[in-house]
């Protein structure tokens, strides 16, 4: 495989190009061990024009069902937590609310609302407030936007403005898993979004980095998700554990306000927290090279490098998220939630009736085969 044969120098050059040359100036002598150093050297960054000071490594709660992990994150000093109304059927928000009851002023909570009519959206926000045991949400995110039209939808602005005026949300924004560069560019044109939650990792091209910089200059706070590209366990990778390297690589970009890795254990949150204020090493570069090879042809990394468009308008990246949830996260609940979003079932039926796929992945993913896998998962769910 070409990537597996890629030399370290060539790989470092490709990474440097993606990050406009910053890798070479950020080499150092090792990460502190998460096990040896239990208290991280906290790093705070400003979340765009919100002015909120957030820990560079924060926490994505989506996959976590263990309250002790949240408590450990809090003990480590992590102050920003990302959840959503739909995660675990609402149980995720409930857990967050219970854990941080009595600690509300010491944490910042971000949750999400799905696009619907105003009555349903209001009901969703009210449920979130009850589950989170709070009177306000620090950052309310419009969940999983796909197009520039959605980013500039006046309905979105009107609803979010009402939430602010009514004191239900301090700041608002949107999340996206696909077409992120174009969405950030569109969002940068207006003064309406405070925060953007986007997939951002070492596999992405410099186009996304440039869009992130543009959005950050416009005052949008950038929260990075999917920083570890699928969250594969080291047992699946022959003992390779590149997650600290991948997380630090994302945080090298100072336009990223914080990252929200989706941890599920105390060991994982300690490992991620230990990344703060550390620099990338030669060993980390080698780990990322090996991880890059492991990912080749395996899952969609949301790099935005695919060519061609579906003539039926199917958002293939949204459907390929399901494969990541199955192969990387190993979370059936996430699969079900993803397939329930929007018109996923209809789209996968369109794909099943299509004799060939006009979308080509530059990283070697057989998209047609992946669509068949998603179709099987849809039937199973």
The CA distance from 84 to 91, in Å, is 10
Quote the strand ranges of the chain, DSSP E. 44-46, 53-55, 59-60, 80-82, 108-113, 137-142, 169-176, 195-199, 221-225, 258-259
Question: Is the pLDDT at 4 greater than 50, yes or no?
Answer: no
Q: Are residues 70 and 138 in the same domain?
A: yes
Q: Are 140 and 243 in the same domain?
A: yes
Phi-psi region of 373 (alpha: psi -120 to 50; beta: other; left: phi over 0): alpha
Three-class secondary structure of residue 45 per DSSP:
strand
Instruction: Assess whether 86 and 225 both reside in one domain.
Output: yes
Name the 3-class secondary structure at 151. helix
C-alpha to C-alpha distance for 299 and 71, rounded to whole angstroms: 32
CATH of the domain at 238: 3.20.20.100
User: Residue for token digits 């898993």?
Assistant: 177
Same domain, 233 and 100: yes
134 within some domain? yes
CB 108 within 8 A of CB 143: no
Q: Are residues 199 and 71 located together in one domain of the fold? A: yes
Residue in the block written with tokens 């790989």: 11
Q: Judge contact between 185 and 208, C-beta under 8 A.
A: no
Between the ranges 60-69, 320-329, 352-361, where is the mean pLDDT highest? 60-69
User: Among 228, 248, 278, where does a domain finish?
Assistant: 278
Under the banding of pLDDT at 50, 70 and 90, the label for residue 373 is confident
- Please tell me the distance from the alpha carbon of residue 80 to that of residue 363, in angstroms, as a whole number: 33
Residue 261 in domain: yes
For helices 367-380 and 332-340, the axis angle rounded to 10 degrees is: 100
Together in a domain, 80 and 224: yes
Spatial separation of the C-alpha atoms in residues 333 and 325, rounded to whole Å = 9
**Whether residue 130 is found in the same domain as residue 230:** yes
Model confidence at 110: pLDDT above 60 = yes
pLDDT of 329 > 80? The answer is: no
Last residue of a domain, one of 248, 278, 308: 278
Give the model confidence (pLDDT) of 114-157 as tens digits.
Answer: 988 999 999 999 999 999 999 999 999 999 898 899 999 999 99
Instruction: Measure the CA–CA gap between 233 and 241, rounded to whole angstroms.
Output: 8
Which of the four pLDDT bands, split at 50, 70 and 90, describes residue 234? confident
Domain that holds residue 38: 30-278
Instruction: State pTM to two decimals.
Output: 0.81
Average pLDDT over residues 235-247: 86
Q: Which residue has the higher pLDDT, 189 or 144?
A: 189
- Considering 258, 278, 298, which residue would you say is the last residue of a domain? 278
The verdict on residue 135 lying in a domain is yes
Quick one: pLDDT band at residue 195, thresholds 50, 70, 90?
Answer: very high
For the stretch 54-79, pLDDT in tens is 999 999 999 899 999 999 999 999 99
| 321 shares a domain with 204 | no
Residue 24 belongs to some domain of the structure: no
Domain co-membership, 331 together with 272:
no
Distance between CA 344 and CA 63 in Å, rounded? 21
pLDDT at 21: 46
Residue whose C-alpha is closest to residue 326's, from 380, 268, 366: 380
Compute the average pLDDT of residues 223-251: 87
Mark whether 216 and 340 lie in a shared domain: no
Same-domain check for residues 83 and 224: yes
pLDDT of residue 24: 43
Same domain as 270, residue 375: no
The answer to whether position 137 is within a domain reads yes
Say how many domains are in the chain: 2
* Cβ 176 vs Cβ 200: under 8 Å: no
pLDDT of residue 26: 46
Nearest to residue 228, comparing CAs of 315, 299, 322? Answer: 299
Calculate the alpha carbon distances from 11 to 14, 224, 284, 291, 303 in Å: 5, 23, 12, 12, 16
Residue 53, SS3? strand
Residue 12 lies in a domain: no
Provide the pLDDT for residue 1. Answer: 44
Q: Per-residue pLDDT for 300 more than 50?
A: yes
Which pLDDT band holds residue 216 (cuts at 50, 70, 90)?
very high
Classify 380 as helix, strand or coil: helix
* Bridge partners, residue 113, by sequence: 142
Q: Is residue 303 part of a domain?
A: no
Give the pLDDT confidence of 149-182 residue by residue, as tens digits.
999 999 999 999 999 999 999 999 999 987 899 9
Cα–Cα distances in angstroms (integers) from residue 300 to residues 230, 237, 362, in the given order: 9, 17, 10
CB 151 within 8 A of CB 187: yes
Q: Per the domain annotation, does 18 fall within a domain?
A: no
């Amino acid at each position: 495989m070409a990537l597996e044969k890629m030399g370290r120098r060539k790989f470092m050059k490709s990474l440097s190009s993606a990050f406009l040359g910053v890798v070479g100036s950020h080499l150092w002598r090792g990460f502190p061990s998460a096990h040896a150093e239990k208290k991280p050297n906290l790093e705070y960054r400003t979340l765009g024009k919100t002015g909120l000071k957030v820990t560079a490594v924060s926490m994505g709660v989506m996959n976590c069902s263990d309250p002790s992990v949240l408590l450990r994150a809090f003990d480590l000093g992590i102050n920003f937590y990302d959840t959503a109304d739909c995660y675990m059927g609402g149980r995720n928000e409930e857990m967050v609310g219970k854990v941080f009851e009595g600690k509300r002023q010491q944490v910042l909570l971000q949750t999400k609302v799905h696009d619907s009519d105003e009555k349903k959206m209001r009901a969703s926000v009210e449920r979130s407030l009850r589950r989170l045991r709070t009177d306000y949400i620090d950052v309310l995110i419009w969940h999983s936007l796909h197009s520039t039209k959605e980013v500039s939808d006046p309905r979105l602005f009107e609803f979010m403005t009402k939430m602010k005026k009514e004191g239900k949300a301090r700041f608002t924004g949107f999340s996206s898993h696909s077409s992120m560069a174009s969405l950030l560019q569109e969002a940068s044109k207006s003064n309406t979004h405070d925060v953007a939650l986007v997939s951002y990792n070492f596999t992405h091209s410099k186009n996304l980095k440039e869009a992130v910089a543009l959005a950050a200059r416009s005052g949008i706070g950038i929260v990075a998700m999917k920083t570890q590209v699928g969250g594969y366990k080291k047992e699946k990778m022959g003992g390779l554990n590149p997650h600290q390297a991948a997380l630090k690589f994302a945080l090298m970009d100072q336009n990223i306000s914080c990252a929200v890795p989706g941890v599920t254990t105390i060991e994982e949150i300690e490992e991620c927290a230990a990344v703060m204020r550390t620099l990338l090493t030669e060993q980390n570069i080698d780990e990322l090279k090996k991880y890059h090879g492991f990912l080749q042809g395996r899952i969609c990394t949301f790099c935005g490098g695919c060519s061609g468009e579906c003539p039926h308008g199917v958002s293939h990246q949204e459907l390929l998220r399901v494969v990541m949830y199955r192969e990387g996260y190993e979370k059936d609940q996430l699969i079900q939630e993803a397939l329930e979003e929007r018109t996923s079932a209809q789209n996968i039926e369109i794909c099943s009736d299509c004799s060939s796929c006009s979308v080509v992945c530059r990283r070697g993913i057989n998209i047609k085969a992946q669509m068949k896998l998603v179709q099987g998962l849809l039937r199973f769910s």
